[in-house]
Every structure is written in structure tokens, then in C-alpha cells.
Amino acid sequence: MFEKILIANRGEIACRVILTARKMGIKTVAVYSDADKDARHVELADEAVNIGPAPSRDSYLQADKIIAACKQTGAQAVHPGYGFLSENAGFAKRVEEEGIVFIGPKHYSIAAMGDKIESKKLAGAAGVNCIPGVNDAIETAEKAVEIAQGIGYPVMIKASAGGGGKGLRVAFNDKEAFEGFTSCRNEARNSFGDDRVFIEKFVEEPRHIEIQLLGDSHGNVIYLNERECSIQRRHQKVIEEAPSPFISDATRKAMGEQAVALAKAVKYESAGTVEFVVGKDQSFYFLEMNTRLQVEHPVTECITGLDLVELMIRVAAGEILPLAQKDVQRNGWAIECRINAEDPFRSFLPSTGRLVRFQPPKETMFAADIANLMGVRVDTGVQDGGEIPMFYDSMIAKLIVHGKDRLDAIAKMREALNAFVIRGISSNIPFQAALLAHPKFVAGDFNTGFIAENYAQGFHAEDVPHADPDFLVALAAYVNRRMLGRAAGISGQMPGHGVMVGEAFVVIGLGAGGANTEHPVVVRDYEAKSGSSRIETGANSYEICSNWHLGGARIRGTVNGQPFAAQVERGVGRNPLAIRVAHNGTRLDALVLSPRAAKLHALMPYKAPPDMSRFVLSPMPGLLVEVAVLPGQKVQAGERVAVIEAMKMENVLFATADGVVGKVLAGKGESLSVDQPIVEFV
């Protein structure tokens, strides 16, 4: 067994590998860029080596620097994690040639499966069902349109070296095929250094189901059941679960056996995943093979009780797989939510900056620990006060739950999301909560188009109706009463002028554009020591009891005897006195006033925000890579205005109306902040 391994990655996966290595008594070496000098994976590892500037092409994609770090520290093996160089056959080959063990498949297996074009030919030869398409690299956008017309729309345009949703577009017409081809090539070149692109038929109403494989150097290959990854937004997975609520045992067996046949055909060792697209009738077609550990591997670990990272390390050290196909278990149900640094209320635009607060829910399961299952686990590479840089992908953490069945897992996940506090940047937690509450998701009735169909106009706060909206009103009143209780108890108040707190209040819900709603509330039986109150609003009464401390972002307690977790914040939006409460993905911004103050508030004029419709604003922090217009140019609605790059994705800004460009206010190569003007129209 190895004495020391180097992890050629960053973030949560680097931390994940370090935890298993520590359990196995193996020392670890972290590598880091200038942007990651204070990152969590650097602190966790036994040693750390700086490998260059912040952009990944100058650091985490530099094979020479990683091999040099191995030699410098005496690391005998390299674990590549996922992304970066994990599926780079050239890197794996060089590592092997330097006498260092690559903890993953052999370079020839990566080469065979990493090329999406060649892998389809190999899969077909191994007896795996394949999808119709043109498997040769396409040179021009015009040729792409011609091929797409021949296959018939819709088509999928994919980068040959792609992965993780990068370099992938679906086109429904000639215009989308032309533009999609260009974007795919650019993204592929920037992310993978390989701009080859091919086209295949897009299966409508498809489900994305993948088979987890494990092979050793002695010719043994087994499959560890499947994962359902159909909940995707722009081809990026959002929620993953195991097993799938859709496929039958017969389909599972057939998919598993085909995946094993493919793995054996390329002499596959280590952990890998064969991805299939599955039709409504459970017909399935080979998509691609990921020759690495997947982001969503924890859900498989939960239902099988296996540590996949440990098995990867053991196989790389030459050990035989410790289990056969008949020994693979399937216990309970596991779900993973990817918690990303993006603002769901602003078209999911990247959100970078400092994590002012990062308080995950209470963990009862842990990475690298297969003894404690049926609970909540958080895999992350960040910590309180850490930075989310714009140079890497947007994932903050992975929230994993394991329940006795699917409904139990959904309930656990909703509870865990309620208790997950992230401040300083925006996260997709409200969106995840909405998905988990959606009747079709709960019923298991969805495909890869689920988010596009149900949130076609984007995601809005009103898309998450609360099962009991009066509870949010009561919670706002409760929080306000606790604040007033402290104010009333402060010493040194002048006799006759101390804070007097009554029982009657009005909760004013602050809507958009000054559209407020008023809710009369009575707060009775307030007890400062026990933190309990009875709140009456409308026809409902809520007995809330909590030991919440003022200033805490998370509030836990009981309501009418049932446990709950919610989040609370003061001084939000445009009103420093407003209280924000959030529960089950629904948010209420409210003022809690005495009845007299509420009457006076109703007389206050509404101040509208300034009109910025003449400007094209940067919707996120990022790098301005292109300005496509000039002063004096006539622009039509829908025309390309600028391109911003953030978190490895290109974001194109289009004109929302016809107009003439007055000024260009930002130049190519400039780092932009949120809402910074780029172009002004006259």
C-alpha cells in the first residue's frame, strides 16, 4: 500500500480523497493555485505545494508542475479527482512513465473512452446499444448545420473531450446549430484544450441514468447499481439519486451487464461510470463513459455501504476487488443536492465572493465513513469566511441524505436544506427546495427536460408556494417579539420611558414594487427564559418554542410540538428594519410593527428604484471577453451585445429591445462586478 499520495485537484473532491487516505493511514499532498492558498484542502493535507497562478490552465492543468510536486514530496501515487486532468490520457501516461501510480484507469482505457467519437465505435463493437449520429469531428459551423439537417432536429452538439456539461448544446433549428457549434468549440478549447465537436440525435423525454463500475487489474469488473441524474439545468446535474425510481430490475441488469462488457473491452481498472440515455419505454442508449470518480459517487456509497475512494486506491495498489457481483447491496434510498454559488432568482448567474457565513446542517454521516448511514452528509471544500473564486466551477458543497425509502430521503433533504446557512453569496438552496417539493419530482415523474419545462420563465420566489404561509408570518412575529424582549430587558432605561411591549402587531409582507400585504397578529404567553410564545394569525394558532439567539441565522425549535428548522435575517433588501424568514424554499420579507406604526407606514410614499433600462448591466462578477457592439451602432432585440466568462462558462448578453449604442463603458479583458454597466443605449 502507498505511504503517500498527491491529490491533483482542489475543493470538495480533494478534501474527500484526503479523508479516505487519512483513514487508511496514507499521508497526503495537496496542490494549490494562488487563489487557493487558504483553501480547506490545503489545511487538511499533510503537505501542500503551490503550482501557479489562479487560472486553472496555469495551475491545475499543468501536468509538469504536478509531476514535479510528486517528485519533490516523494508521493508514490496521484489521485486526479474529477475535472481538470482526471480524464487526460496523456497525463495518466506521463505519470506512469515517471514511475508514479495513477489512481484511476490505465491511459489506454482513458484514451479509448475519453474520446466521445471513438468510444461510440468501441461501444457498438462490444454489443452496447448506441444512439444515431455522426461520430466524426466537424470542421465548420456550416457543415454542422448540414449534418444536423440530415439527422433531423433536435440534435445534440458535443465536444469530443467534453464533460460536466461544458461544450454541449441542444439545437432545435439551423440558427441554434450554427451558434451552438461555435460556442461548443470555444468552451471545449478553453476547458479541455481540444476543440473537436460532433453531433448526435437528441432523444426527447429522455432520462439520464448511469451505471457505476469498479474494475481491478486482475480482470474483475462489477457494477454497483445505477444513479438517476435526470434533474439537470443546461446539462448540469442538479439532483442525483440512487436507485432510480424509473427503471425495472430487468433494465437495471441489462444496463449493468452492457456497462461491464464495455469496461472489459477496454481492460478497465478503477472506478468508472457508463452513462445511458433512457427512453420512456426503458430503451437505453450509450452516451459516454466517464473514466473517473463522479461528483455524485456518495449516493452509491450510501446504498451499497462501500467507500469508492478506498476501493480506487486499493485497486491502484494492485489488490483484487473484495466483493463479487452477488455481494453488491442496495439498501435504502440516497439523494444528493449540488449546492452551487449561483443566484436562482437572477437566471442562475454565478455568484462569487466571501462566504460571510457557512453553516451546514448537522451531519450524522461522513465521507470515508461507511459505518454511519441513514442520515445527512456534507462534502465540501470551503469553510466559514472562505472565498468562492471566479476561476473554478460554482459548487460550494454536496448535501447527501440516506433514507429508508425515497419519501423518507426527500423529507430528510428538505429538512437539511432548511438548516443550511450560506451568507455573503447567493446559492441555489431555494431552487433545490422547490424541486424537492414539486409533485412530479415527489412522484418520480420527470425526465431531463423537467427544469426547462417547469421553470421555462426562470425561477421566482412565487414558484415555491408554502404549505402553510401563515407559519412564515407567525415566525416573523416571533422573531420580532424576541428582539423586543431583549430591548425591554436592557438596563439603564429611564423610569416611565422603558420599552413597553404589547401583544398586538401587524406583519407587513414587503412585495415587489411596493405591493405590500398586512397580517394582524397577536403574540401571547411570551416567556423569555424558555423562548416560547403563542402566535395567533388569521384562524391559526402557533405555539413556537426555540432557544434561538439573536443574530443567529438558523432558528431551530418546535411549532405546535413538531420540530422545525428555518432561517432568519434582519436588515435585508432596501429596508434595514425588515426581517427575512425562509422555510421550505419560501421566503418572506416583512416589517413587524405595532398597529399604530402600521397605519403610519401605509401613508409613506413608495420610492421606486432608478430606471436602468438604457444600460446593459453585468449580471454577475466575471471577465469581459467580448464586446460585440460599437458606439452609434443600431442593435435589434435578441442581438449579441457582450460575452462574460465566469466559473468556466461563457455567458452571452443579448439586447432586450431595439436601440442605438450610445457609449461602451467597459473594455475587453476587464473584470466586472455585479450590475456594472457595460453598454449604454441612447
Give the H or E element holding residue 302.
Answer: helix 297-304
Contacts of 673 (CB under 8 A, 6+ apart): 618, 621
pLDDT score at 166: 73
- The C-alpha angle 570, 572, 578, rounded to 5 degrees, equals 60
Residue with cell 407606514: 601
Take residue 133 and report the three cell numbers written for it: 449520429
- The C-alpha angle 339, 373, 342, rounded to 5 degrees, equals 0
- The C-alpha angle 506, 512, 517, rounded to 5 degrees, equals 25
Name the class of domain 132-201.
alpha beta
Residue with cell 425562509: 582
Residues 277, 203: contact at Cβ < 8 Å? yes
Take residue 437 and report the three cell numbers written for it: 417539493
End-to-end CA, the chain:
69
Catalytically annotated residues: 288
Span(s) in the chain for CATH 3.30.700.30: 469-488+502-602
**308: helix, coil or strand?**
helix
Span(s) in the chain for CATH 2.40.50.100: 615-681
Take residue 389 and report the three cell numbers written for it: 473564486
pLDDT score at 573: 67
Residues 12, 360: contact at Cβ < 8 Å? no
Consecutive sets of 10 residues in the chain, 682 residues long: mean pLDDT of each? Answer: 96 96 97 94 96 92 96 96 93 96 95 83 90 79 91 86 76 92 86 84 87 96 97 92 95 96 95 93 90 96 97 97 96 97 87 90 94 95 88 91 97 96 93 94 94 89 82 94 85 82 90 81 83 88 92 92 93 82 91 93 83 86 90 90 82 87 91 89 88
Residues 379, 298: contact at Cβ < 8 Å? yes
pLDDT score at 74: 96
pLDDT score at 513: 66
Take residue 207 and report the three cell numbers written for it: 432520462
Span(s) in the chain for CATH 3.30.470.20: 207-463
Euclidean distance between CA atoms 341 and 422, whole angstroms: 10
pTM recorded for the entire structure: 0.84
Span(s) in the chain for CATH 3.30.1490.20: 132-201
Name the class of domain 4-103.
alpha beta
Residue 101, Cα to own-chain centre: how many angstroms? 31
| CATH fold for the domain made of 207-463 | D-amino Acid Aminotransferase; Chain A, domain 1 (3.30.470)
Name the class of domain 615-681.
mainly beta
Euclidean distance between CA atoms 138 and 148, whole angstroms: 11
pLDDT score at 673: 86
Supply the CATH classification number for the domain 469-488+502-602.
3.30.700.30
pLDDT score at 200: 84
pLDDT score at 406: 97
Euclidean distance between CA atoms 19 and 28, whole angstroms: 9
The helix-helix angle for 406-418 and 429-437 (nearest 10°) equals 150
Q: Which of 536, 502, 537, 555 is nearest to 545 (CA)?
A: 555
pLDDT score at 451: 94
pLDDT score at 417: 97
